Amino acid sequence: MDGRASGQANESPEPVVAPESKRARPTVAPTSRSSDARRHADRPVAAKPLPGAAVADLGTRGGVVWVVGFHAVLAALEHNTDRIEVVCVAEGSGSGRAGRVLETARRAGVRCHPIPRRQLDDIAAGSAHNGFAARLAPVAFADSATLLALPGPVCLIGLDTPEDPHNLGAVVRVVAGLGLGGVVVSGPHPPPLGGAVAKVAAGTLPLVRLAHVGSLGDFARQAQDAGFWVIGADAAGTPVTDVELPERLLLCLGAEAGGLRAKTRAAVDETVAIPLAAGVESLNLSVATAILSWEWRRRHPLPPVVA
């Protein structure tokens, strides 16, 4: 959503009057509410030092991705083993977390090596790594068409050229937590999915379908053709509490600074805003995503978990 009342950024685009709905609103019937794994007896294997030349060659090359932090590395070991090339642990680490990472890596057959903490600082590039990093082969983005083919009630989040990897990671975590269909990120280049994105996603990155498209406006029109209602987040929109949120929804939110692009605004069926208290002009992009997508999920609850 945009900065002032909808959460894109602190810099607000000029107010835009919400366009009249381009399509008849779909009729949606109201929805009623309706052992830990056994540990190996043997001690975790110790991480083996890398040869000096290999240590110098740990930098990102050829599109590889680094994920940093205990939870992100552990999730990669549990969900993306085939993509992990090496796990690095800070030299001298002897915590229970280090033992858990080493043991999980040993079971998965993944190389695990100690490196100087200062080198982990360079790899993490400002993100908190907690002494852990894993180098992964490039992630394969999902085909955006597969997201449009998802069955049943589904909400997709469309991010119009996001710039902050921390926001993207937080959005991924929201989408995983609410069981949404996935995230579509637009822009000229695919965003790197390691580093801060994986760290903030806190282990949920492997659980979320992520697609990259050049234009969110073009994707919005494809979504309409596939039976989705497309709603854009904007401070000048109708309060979300007064808007019907259909079962098949593409929710579009703009970049942190500029809001929705003109082409995307022209494609949406209508715009919505989050009502805010007087004097509060903006919400963070990921916070706005969480509020709006939770409102959709409240109206279309997850099916009960079968034991």
User: Residue 96's domain is classified under what CATH number?
Assistant: 3.30.1330.30
Distance of alpha carbon 298 from alpha carbon 289, whole angstroms: 14
Long-range contacts of 53-58 (CB under 8 A, 24+ apart): 54/113, 55/115, 55/119, 58/86, 58/88, 58/115, 58/119, 58/123, 58/135
Residue 125 falls inside a structural domain: yes
φ/ψ of 184, rounded to 5, equals: -115, 120
Q: Within this chain, do residues 203 and 252 fall inside the same structural domain, yes or no?
A: yes
- At 156, which CATH number? 3.40.1280.10
Residues 165 and 290 placed together within one structural domain of the fold: yes
| Co-location of 91 and 203 in the same domain | no
Question: In terms of domains, do 119 and 262 share one?
Answer: no
- Which DSSP string do the residues of 239-266 spell out, in sequence order? EGGGS---SEEEEEEEBTTTBS-HHHHH
Q: Mind listing the pLDDT tens digit of every residue in the chain (307 residues)?
A: 443 334 443 333 333 333 344 555 543 333 333 333 333 333 334 454 443 333 333 444 345 678 888 988 998 898 878 778 899 999 888 788 989 999 999 998 998 889 998 999 988 877 788 899 998 876 678 999 999 999 989 999 999 998 888 899 999 999 999 999 999 999 988 777 766 787 788 778 888 999 999 999 999 999 999 999 999 999 889 999 999 999 999 999 998 777 899 999 999 999 999 999 998 877 889 999 999 999 999 999 998 876 6
Q: Are residues 295 and 153 in the same domain?
A: yes
268 and 217 both lie in a single domain: yes
Answer yes or no: do 184 and 252 share one domain: yes
Instruction: Among 136, 163, 196, identify where a domain stops.
Output: 136
User: d(Cα 235, Cα 16) in Å, to the nearest integer?
Assistant: 8
Residues 152, 126 share a domain: no
Count of structural domains within the chain: 2
Cα 4 to Cα 276: distance, rounded to the nearest angstrom: 9
Q: CA-CA distance, 252 to 230, in Å (whole number)?
A: 7
Domain of 127 in residue numbering reads as: 64-136
Q: Quick check: is 221 in a domain?
A: yes
* DSSP state letter for 142: B
